[in-house]
């Protein structure tokens, strides 16, 4: 059994904290929420302290923040239908571009591994792919209308320009660009959850995906490429994603977020029952029917719903979480 | 609103009597957990969006359709639209949710659902009411908040 040790509790946001995001070097993170403010935190000695407050970028709730892979840009998705891009070129953080186009609430934003593409999604059921076209210039590459409900989350494959989205329509979809005509299209629909899919996370290989849902389960999906040795039928030359594992009976309410640590392979979940859970793949796990064990249950991790969990990208097993209770917590996992 | 009400002639029922105050209520030594009656008292006087009547008078809310689990911090309210195709069902559910979110300590997880089999879009309404992100976004809409506040303002 592992355990989560609480390193620090950070307060300062007013109301719900929706999201926290590590800077790629793991020494800074950003937080956002209902108070329409982004806060940047960094470590001084042993303690994390708030360093910068970004205000006036958005008129409504900021739902998610995401750092570019180079760490120089921060994107923020807001209920005000816009996505803002912040950078420090002038010496301090400023909003130098605003991406407009969604009809209403933007729910999620994510940078591709190259940093050249950006994806956003929202309540208007669409997923947008943007290309970084130059200094503070972003061009819309594609508007993808594959979902028929509110789109909750977008996430990129860790090394390829493959995009995944999760929706209120209970499905997950994958998209990529056709190299012949440069058109983006939906190449896979992952169907198995029985209610809203709130979040998703690729493993470090990008060949597996973990999803979490309002149906109180977590699912693990595996990619079967054309000509796979398992003999899974693949038409259309596109990979097929199959649900190879369902973790049910662990969560007592909606699972709002999931994080898959690229270093340790540990899965962390954020749940509406105020609990953070950590799962570990069994040593003798069969790749086509993997088994995951619950190795840690942090009861009352927060005093209200946990909205987000995220592993430090440096792989030091630090975990960040945030909650409806207005607090951000930093944890350290140990075996 | 100039729109004609969905249910022009709803049945109207008697109100319950006020809660009896017993000596235990004045005794500071007794731990006073939340109970179904207390939750009912918080929502019974919410106004219907279309009629000058309370949710209690229309039997949209009833004490028997409320359950409270103090240990698990759970409150579950089932409400019954006056007709199965009531277009106001989501708004009524939202008003109940907002009233309870404002009145109860934040430790409570509030679930508001349509009573089983009483609405044609029961599942869709329940899903929307349970989606806290969509509820949060709705509560940033000033027009909607105004309407909800009018409903919630106890018509005493």
Q: Is the pLDDT of residue B3 over 70?
A: no
Q: How many CB atoms lie within 10 A of CB A44?
A: 9
Domain assignment present for residue B22? The answer is: no
Domain assignment present for residue B11? The answer is: no
Q: Is the pLDDT of residue B1 over 50?
A: no
Tell me the pLDDT band of A38, cut-offs 50, 70 and 90: very high
Q: Within an 8 Å CB–CB cutoff, is residue A16 touching chain B?
A: yes
Domain assignment present for residue B19? The answer is: no
Tokens of B146: 């105004």
Long-range CB contacts for residues B91-94, cutoff 8 Å, separation at least 24: B91/B49, B91/B147, B91/B148, B91/B151, B92/B46, B92/B48, B92/B49, B92/B55, B92/B60, B92/B151, B93/B125, B93/B129, B94/B129, B94/B135, B94/B138, B94/B144, B94/B148
Domain assignment present for residue B5? The answer is: no
Contact B131, A168 (CB under 8 A): yes
Contact A147, A165 (CB under 8 A): yes
Percentage of chain A beyond pLDDT 70 is 100
Task: Please report residues of A whose CB lies closer than 8 A to that of B105.
Answer: none
Q: What is the pLDDT of residues B19-65, one digit of tens each?
A: 777 777 777 777 778 999 999 999 999 999 999 999 999 999 999 99
Integer Cα distance of A18 and A212 in angstroms: 16
* Mean pLDDT over each residue of chain A, to the nearest integer: 97
Tell me the pLDDT band of B11, cut-offs 50, 70 and 90: confident
Domain total of chain B: 1
Contact A94, A87 (CB under 8 A): yes
Q: Is the pLDDT of residue A78 over 80?
A: yes
Q: Is the pLDDT of residue A20 over 60?
A: yes
The C-alpha of A227 sits at a distance from chain B's nearest C-alpha, in angstroms, of 40
Q: What share of chain B is helix, strand, coil (3-state, %, to 5)?
A: 35, 10, 50
Q: Within an 8 Å CB–CB cutoff, is residue A79 touching chain B?
A: yes
Count of pairs with CB atoms under 8 A, one residue in A, one in B: 39
Per-residue pLDDT, B23: 75
The answer for A 226-255 residues in CB contact with B (under 8 A) is: 253-254
- Phi and psi at residue B41, in whole multiples of 5°? -60, -30
Domain assignment present for residue B83? The answer is: yes
Contact call for A34 and B136, based on CB within 8 A: yes
Contact call for A195 and B127, based on CB within 8 A: yes
Percentage of chain A beyond pLDDT 90 is 96
- DSSP-derived 3-state class of residue B89: helix
Q: Nearest 10 degrees: CA dihedral of B70, B72, B77, B78?
A: -130
Q: How many CB atoms lie within 10 A of CB B59?
A: 16
Query: Average pLDDT of A214-228?
Result: 97
Per-residue pLDDT, A260: 98
Query: Average pLDDT of A1-30?
Result: 97
Domain assignment present for residue B91? The answer is: yes
Q: What is the pLDDT of residues B82-131, one digit of tens each?
A: 999 999 999 999 999 999 999 999 999 999 999 999 999 999 999 999 99
Local structure of residue A18 (DSSP, 8 states): E
Domain assignment present for residue B28? The answer is: no
Contact call for B137 and A254, based on CB within 8 A: no
The C-alpha of B107 sits at a distance from chain A's nearest C-alpha, in angstroms, of 6
What is the domain range of residue B133?
34-153
Domain assignment present for residue B90? The answer is: yes
Q: Is the pLDDT of residue A59 over 90?
A: yes
- DSSP-derived 3-state class of residue A129: strand
Contact call for A303 and B107, based on CB within 8 A: yes
């Amino acid at each position: 059994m592992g355990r989560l040790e609480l390193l620090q509790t950070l307060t300062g946001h007013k109301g719900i904290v929706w999201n926290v995001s590590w800077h790629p070097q793991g020494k800074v993170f950003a937080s956002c929420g209902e108070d329409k403010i982004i806060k940047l935190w960094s470590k001084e000695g042993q303690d994390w302290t708030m360093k910068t407050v970004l205000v006036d970028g958005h008129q409504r709730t900021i739902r998610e923040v995401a750092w570019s892979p180079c760490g120089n840009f921060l994107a923020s998705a807001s209920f005000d239908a816009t996505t803002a891009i912040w950078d420090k070129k002038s010496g301090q953080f400023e909003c130098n571009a605003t991406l407009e186009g969604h009809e209403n609430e933007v729910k999620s934003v994510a940078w591709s591994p190259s940093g050249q593409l950006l994806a956003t999604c929202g309540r208007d059921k669409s997923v947008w792919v943007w290309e970084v076209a130059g200094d503070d210039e972003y061009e819309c590459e594609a508007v993808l209308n594959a979902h028929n409900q509110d789109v909750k989350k977008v996430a990129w494959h860790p090394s390829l320009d493959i995009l995944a989205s999760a929706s209120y329509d209970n499905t997950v979809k994958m998209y990529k660009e056709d190299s012949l005509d440069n058109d983006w299209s939906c190449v896979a629909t992952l169907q198995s959850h029985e209610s809203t899919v709130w979040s998703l996370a690729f493993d470090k290989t990008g060949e597996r995906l973990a999803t979490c849902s309002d149906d109180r389960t977590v699912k693990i999906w595996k990619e079967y490429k054309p000509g796979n040795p398992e003999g899974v039928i693949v038409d259309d030359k596109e990979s097929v994603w199959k649900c190879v594992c369902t973790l049910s009976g662990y969560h007592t309410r909606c699972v709002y977020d999931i994080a898959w640590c690229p270093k340790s392979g540990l899965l962390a979940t954020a749940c509406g029952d105020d609990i953070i859970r950590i799962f570990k793949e069994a040593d003798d796990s069969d790749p086509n029917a993997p088994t995951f064990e619950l190795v840690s249950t942090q009861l009352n991790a927060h005093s209200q719903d946990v909205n987000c969990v995220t592993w430090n990208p440096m792989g030091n097993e630090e975990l960040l979480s945030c909650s409806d209770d207005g607090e951000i917590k930093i944890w350290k996992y140990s075996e | 609103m100039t729109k004609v009400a969905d249910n022009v002639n709803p049945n109207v029922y008697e109100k319950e009597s006020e809660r009896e105050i017993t000596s235990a209520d004045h005794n500071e030594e007794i731990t006073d957990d939340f109970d179904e009656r207390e939750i009912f008292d918080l929502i019974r006087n919410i106004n219907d969006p279309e009629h000058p009547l309370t949710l209690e008078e229309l039997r949209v809310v009833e004490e028997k359709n409320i359950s409270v689990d103090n240990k698990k911090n759970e409150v579950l309210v089932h409400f019954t639209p006056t007709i199965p195709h009531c277009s106001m069902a989501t708004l009524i559910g939202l008003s109940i949710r907002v009233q309870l979110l404002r009145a109860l300590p934040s430790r409570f997880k509030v679930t508001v659902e349509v009573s089983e089999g009483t609405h044609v879009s029961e599942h869709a309404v329940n899903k929307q009411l349970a989606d806290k992100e969509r509820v949060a976004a709705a509560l940033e809409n000033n027009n909607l908040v105004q309407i909800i506040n009018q409903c919630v303002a106890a018509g005493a």
